[in-house]
Amino acid sequence: MKLNPLGTKANVAADEGVTFVGRSHFPQEKMAMLWKHVRAWKRHVIAGHHRLSRSLTTSEGHRPSIVHKRSIDILHDPWFNKGTAFSMTERDRLDLRGLLPPNVMPPDLQIERFMADLKRLEVQARDGPSDPYALAKWRILNRLHDRNETMYYKVLIAKIEEYAPIVYTPTVGLVCQNYSGLFRRPRGMYFSAEDRGEMMSMVYNWPAEQVDMIVVTDGSRILGLGDLGVQGIGIAIGKLDLYVAAAGINPQRVLPVMIDVGTNNEKLLKDPLYLGLQQHRLEGDDYLAVVDEFMEAVFTRWPNVIVQFEDFQSKWAFKLLQRYRSTYRMFNDDVQGTAGVAIAGLLGAVRAQGRPMIDFPKQKIVVAGAGSAGIGVLNAARKTMARMLGNNEIAFESAKSQFWLVDAKGLITKERENIDPEALPFARNLKEMDRHGLREGASLVEVVKQVKPDVLLGLSAVGGLFSKEVLEALKGSTSTRPAIFAMSNPTKNAECTPEEAFSILGDNIIFASGSPFSNVDLGNGHIGHCNQGNNMYLFPGIGLGTLLCGSRIISDGMLQAAAERLAAYMSEEEVLKGIIFPSISRIRDITKEVAAAVIKEAVEEDLAEGYHGMDARELRRLSQDEILEYVKNNMWSPEYPTLVYKKD
Ligand SMILES: NC(=O)c1ccc[n+]([C@@H]2O[C@H](COP(=O)([O-])OP(=O)(O)OC[C@H]3O[C@@H](n4cnc5c(N)ncnc54)[C@H](O)[C@@H]3O)[C@@H](O)[C@H]2O)c1
Ligand SMILES: O=C(O)C[C@H](O)C(=O)O
Ligand SMILES: [Mg+2]
C-alpha cells in the first residue's frame, strides 16, 4: 500500500503500476472535513459575501468584474471561467443553468478533484528524462491553463514546489524541444521577420488593454539547449507563469512574445512540422530592425510595460541590453537576473565559511562559461568586490584579479585571438599566468589545480563538465568550505550533480544548481543540501518592484538592491547549514521583499514616478513596512471574482 495524493491508502496493483483513487477511498475524517468546507462555502455564497480590500491600493482580485459575454462563451473564456464552481445565482445571471452538472463545487474541492485525476493520469503516461511523467503533467496543467486561469494559478501557487519544475526549468526545456507536437491553442504573440512594417498595428490584436509584463525571446539560446527557433516561446510562457505565481502580476496583463527571425537549427529547418519561419536567422541591421520595431510597437501601445529579454544568444544579449536599457523599461534576465542570484549565492558561500560578507573580495573564483550568463556574473561580482574595497578605480582594477575565466577553448588570457570584447576585461595577464604555471587555453582541470579556488561556478551549458578529475582537483581548494555552482539548465546540462560533488568532496562544501535536484543522503544522518541557484529568485521581484515604483528604467542600483535583499534573506543558522538559497515554497515572500528593495532604491535614486493611485511623492513618504504592505496589497491572488453581466 502507498499513500495517494489525498492522504488515503490506495490500492496499488504493483505489476500494472495502477493506483486506484476515488471517493470511496476518502477516509471519513477527510470526507467530514471536505463536507464541512462545502457547507461553509455554500453558506458564504448564499450570503452573497464579497470582501472588499481596504488597503493602500485596492487589490482588484475581490471586486466584481464586468463581463460582456454570457452562456457558453463564459465557459470557453479562461479569464472568467470557474467551471463547476459557478454558484447557482451566477449560473442564472449568466445563462449557465443546465450547461454545467448541477453540483456546485467549492474551489478547494474542485482542486482536489483535479488533483485526483492528475495523479491517476500520471501513472498511465510515460515521457520525460528525469521525471518520466514530466510531459504528461505539463500537458494536463497546460489544458487547465487554457480553460481556467484562476484555478491553474491556484494549483501552481499551492503546489509550487511540485509544479515549478514542470512549468519552468527543467520540463519547460523539454516542452520547447517538443513544441510543434505539443502546440494546441496559441498563447502569447509572435512577431516574425515577415511582419516588418506591420508591428505597430498588429500589436492591437492582443485583447488586453493593459499589459504589465512582457517576456520576449528570439529562441536563439533556450536554456542550455541551443537554438530552438519559434519553439522557444515556451520559455517566455514559463517565466510569466512565475511572474503570476511568485510576483502576483495579474495574468490578464502578461504577454509572452516570440520574435521569429528564423533559426540556424538545421534539424528544425528540415522538419515540415516546424511551426516557425523556415529560413536562417536574420543578422546585423536586418535583425536589429525587427527587434527595434517590436520595441517601438509594444511601448507605443503599452507605455508602462516592462520587457524582460530572455534566452537571446550572447552576441545579441549584450548589444540589445546596451541599446535599450537607458530608453526603455527593460532588463535581460540571463545577464542581470542571473548575476544578482549568483552574487547572493557567492555572498552566502562566504557566510557559510563562518566569515563576514566583507571578505568576499578575497575569494578566488573560477568561472566556466563566458557567455551572457558567465560574463554577467563576473561583471556584477567585480563591481560588488570593488564596492567593498573602497568603491574607487583602484579597487575596481584590483578586483578582477580574483577571477579566472574558462570557455570552450580553455583559460582566457590576453593572448587569445579574436577575443570577445565582453570577456576582455577578465582575460588573464600572461606573465602572471606563467607564475601560476598556466597558459592560454589551459584546461579547466589545470586551472582548478593551480588556482585552488574558493568557488567553481559553471554557466557553460555543458553537462558533466565538472568531471571526477575536476572535482578531485577542487580538493586542493584553499577554502575551508569550497563552493560549487553547477548553474546550467536544464538538468542534463548541469556541470555536475550534487551526488557527484558530495561523494568526491565530502559534506563540507556548498552546492547549488540551476535546475532542481534532491538533497543527498550522505549516510551517518548527514544531508548534503542542494540549493537551487536560479534567477527565478530575482526576476519576478525586479519586474514587480519596477512596475509598482513606476521607474522608467531599471538601474544598476535597483538590480544590486534586489541581489542584496536576496543575499540577506537567509538566516545565519540556515547559511551555516549550507542552505544559501531559500526553498521555492517561499518564493512569493522573497519576491515581495525583493520588489520592496527595488522600490526603495528607485525612490532613493529619484527614479520612482509612481503607479496608479500611488504617486512619486507618496511613495517617498512610505516607511519600509509600508512599502512591503503596498507591494503585498498589489499582488494578484487567484480568487474567483463575482461576475456581473453588462451588454457591450
Ligand atoms: N541558473 C540560472 O539562473 C541560469 C541563468 C542563466 C543561464 N543559465 C544557464 O547557463 C548556461 C549558459 O548560458 P549563456 O547564456 O551564458 O550561454 P552561452 O551560449 O552564451 O555561453 C556558453 C559559454 O560556455 C562556454 N563553454 C562551452 N563549452 C565549454 C567547456 N567545455 N568548458 C568551458 N566553457 C565552455 C562557451 O564558450 C560559452 O562561453 C545555459 O545552460 C543556461 O541555461 C542558468
Ligand atoms: O530559465 C532558467 O531556468 C534560468 C535561466 O534563465 C536560463 O536561461 O537557464
Ligand atoms: Mg534564461
**Range with the poorest average pLDDT among 53-67, 169-183, 204-218:** 53-67
pLDDT level of residue 160 (50, 70, 90 thresholds): very high
**For position 178, what pLDDT does the model report?**
86
**Range with the poorest average pLDDT among 105-114, 611-620, 632-641:** 105-114
pLDDT at 112 over 90: no
Q: Which residue is closest in CA terms to ligand 1's atom 27?
A: 408
Ligand 2 centre to CA of 535 (Å) is 7
Backbone angles phi, psi at 550, to 5 degrees: 75, 25
Question: Looking at this protein, which amino acid is placed at residue 193?
Answer: A
Q: Is 120 annotated as a binding residue?
A: no
Q: Ligand 1, residue 490: give the atom nearest the CA.
A: 43
Ligand 2 centre to CA of 169 (Å) is 7
Most informative mutation of 228, 318, 407, 496 for ligand 1 (most atoms within 8 A of CB): 407
Most informative mutation of 168, 169, 175 for ligand 2 (most atoms within 8 A of CB): 169
**For position 115, what pLDDT does the model report?**
79
pLDDT at 430 over 70: yes
Q: Model confidence over 260-319: pLDDT tens digits?
A: 999 999 999 998 888 889 999 999 999 999 999 999 999 999 999 999 999 999 999 999
Ligand nearest to the CA of 443: 1
**For position 84, what pLDDT does the model report?**
81
Question: Looking at this protein, which amino acid is placed at residue 109?
Answer: L
- Does ligand 1 come within 6 angstroms of the Cβ of 533? yes
**Range with the poorest average pLDDT among 38-52, 195-209, 246-260:** 38-52
Name the active-site residue from 154, 239, 400, 600: 239
pLDDT at 18 over 70: no
Ligand 1 centre to CA of 108 (Å) is 42
Distance CA 483, CA 381 (A): 15
Ligand 3 centre to CA of 309 (Å) is 9
Q: Can you tell me whether residue 217 is helix, strand or coil?
A: strand
Most informative mutation of 168, 308, 333, 537 for ligand 2 (most atoms within 8 A of CB): 333
User: DSSP for 536-589?
Assistant: GGTHHHHHHHHHHHT-SS--HHHHHHHHHHHHHHS-HHHHHTT--S--GGGHHH
Q: Which residue is closest in CA terms to ligand 1's atom 29?
A: 408
- Does ligand 2 come within 6 angstroms of the Cβ of 336? no
Distance CA 125, CA 293 (A): 43
Contact 406, 358 (CB under 8 A): no
Name the active-site residue from 152, 163, 168, 569: 168
Q: Can you tell me whether residue 501 is helix, strand or coil?
A: helix
Q: Is 51 annotated as a binding residue?
A: no
Q: Can you tell me whether residue 263 is helix, strand or coil?
A: coil
State the average pLDDT for the chain: 88
Segment 575-591 mean pLDDT:
97
Distance CA 187, CA 235 (A): 12
Q: Ligand 2, residue 515: give the atom nearest the CA.
A: 3
Select from 147, 118, 261 the least CA-distant residue to 193: 261
Distance CA 329, CA 132 (A): 40
Distance CA 608, CA 593 (A): 17
Ligand nearest to the CA of 376: 1
Q: Model confidence over 512-544: pLDDT tens digits?
A: 999 999 999 998 888 999 999 999 999 999 999
Question: Looking at this protein, which amino acid is placed at residue 168?
Answer: Y
Adjacency order of strands within the sheet including 254-260: 189-192, 254-260, 213-217, 306-309, 330-332
Q: Which residue is closest in CA terms to ligand 2's atom 2?
A: 169
Distance CA 195, CA 291 (A): 11
Q: Is 221 annotated as a binding residue?
A: yes
Select from 224, 247, 225, 251 the least CA-distant residue to 237: 251
Q: Ligand 2, residue 334: give the atom nearest the CA.
A: 6
Q: Is 489 annotated as a binding residue?
A: yes
**For position 606, what pLDDT does the model report?**
97
Most informative mutation of 242, 416, 489, 542 for ligand 1 (most atoms within 8 A of CB): 489
Distance CA 347, CA 221 (A): 28
**Interface pTM, i.e. ipTM:** 0.99
- For residue 510 the three cell numbers come to 556548498
Distance CA 615, CA 603 (A): 11
- Does ligand 1 come within 6 angstroms of the Cβ of 411? no
Q: Which residue is closest in CA terms to ligand 2's atom 6?
A: 334
- Does ligand 1 come within 6 angstroms of the Cβ of 341? yes
Ligand 1 centre to CA of 424 (Å) is 17
Ligand 3 centre to CA of 336 (Å) is 10
- Does ligand 2 come within 6 angstroms of the Cβ of 169? yes
**Residue 239 bears catalytic tag:** yes
pLDDT at 123 over 70: no
pLDDT at 134 over 70: yes
**For position 35, what pLDDT does the model report?**
57
Q: Can you tell me whether residue 104 is helix, strand or coil?
A: coil
- Does ligand 2 come within 6 angstroms of the Cβ of 334? yes
Sort 196 into a burial class: Cβ within 10 Å, 0-12 / 13-18 / 19+: middle
Q: Ligand 2, residue 222: give the atom nearest the CA.
A: 8
**For position 57, what pLDDT does the model report?**
39
Q: Model confidence over 2-17: pLDDT tens digits?
A: 333 222 333 322 222 2
Question: Looking at this protein, which amino acid is placed at residue 531?
Answer: N
Task: Report the phi/psi class of residue 418: left, alpha or beta, with left for phi > 0 and alpha for psi in -120 to 50.
Answer: left
Q: Model confidence over 193-236: pLDDT tens digits?
A: 988 999 999 899 888 999 999 999 999 999 999 999 999 999 99
**Residue 204 bears catalytic tag:** no
Distance CA 525, CA 217 (A): 45
Q: Is 311 annotated as a binding residue?
A: yes
Contact 96, 75 (CB under 8 A): yes
pLDDT at 66 over 50: yes
**For position 645, what pLDDT does the model report?**
85
**For position 7, what pLDDT does the model report?**
29
pLDDT at 26 over 70: no
Ligand 3 centre to CA of 310 (Å) is 5
Ligand 1 centre to CA of 334 (Å) is 10
Whether this prediction's pTM lies above 0.95 is answered by no
Q: Can you tell me whether residue 103 is helix, strand or coil?
A: coil
Q: Model confidence over 456-477: pLDDT tens digits?
A: 999 999 999 999 999 999 999 9
- Does ligand 1 come within 6 angstroms of the Cβ of 334? yes
pLDDT level of residue 183 (50, 70, 90 thresholds): confident
Ligand 2 centre to CA of 534 (Å) is 7
Distance CA 88, CA 100 (A): 10
For a pLDDT cut of 90, what percent of the chain falls above it?
A: 73
User: How far does CA 238 lie from the centroid of its chain?
Assistant: 7
- Does ligand 2 come within 6 angstroms of the Cβ of 223? yes
User: CB-based contacts of 388: which residues, under 8 Å, 6+ apart?
Assistant: 357, 358, 360, 361
Give 127's strand partners.
Answer: 133
Ligand nearest to the CA of 313: 1
What is each CA distance from 445 to 139, 300, 332, 430, 438, in whole angstroms?
42, 51, 31, 18, 11
Backbone angles phi, psi at 457, to 5 degrees: -120, 125
Q: Ligand 2, residue 235: give the atom nearest the CA.
A: 1
- Does ligand 2 come within 6 angstroms of the Cβ of 311? yes
Segment 122-129 mean pLDDT:
49
**For position 114, what pLDDT does the model report?**
78
Segment 550-576 mean pLDDT:
97
User: DSSP for 42-95?
Assistant: HHHHHTT------SSS--GGGS-EEES--HHHHHT-TTT--GGG--HHHHHHTT
**For position 423, what pLDDT does the model report?**
97
User: CB-based contacts of 227: which residues, under 8 Å, 6+ apart?
Assistant: 219, 220, 221, 263, 264, 265, 268, 281, 313
pLDDT level of residue 21 (50, 70, 90 thresholds): very low
Question: Looking at this protein, which amino acid is placed at residue 548?
Answer: L
Contact 593, 541 (CB under 8 A): yes
Selected residue with higher pLDDT from 34 and 459:
459
For a pLDDT cut of 70, what percent of the chain falls above it?
A: 88
Q: Which residue is closest in CA terms to ligand 2's atom 7?
A: 223
Q: Give the 3-state DSSP-derived string for 372-434, with helices as H, strands as E and coil as C.
A: HHHHHHHHHHHHHHHHHCCCCHHHHHHHHHHEEEEECCEECECCCCCCCCCCHHHCECHHHHH
Distance CA 166, CA 141 (A): 9
pLDDT level of residue 34 (50, 70, 90 thresholds): low
Q: Ligand 2, residue 168: give the atom nearest the CA.
A: 3
Q: Across 170-285, where does the E strand assignment appear?
A: 189-192, 213-217, 254-260
Handedness of CA 216, 218, 219, 223 (dihedral sign): negative
pLDDT at 422 over 70: yes
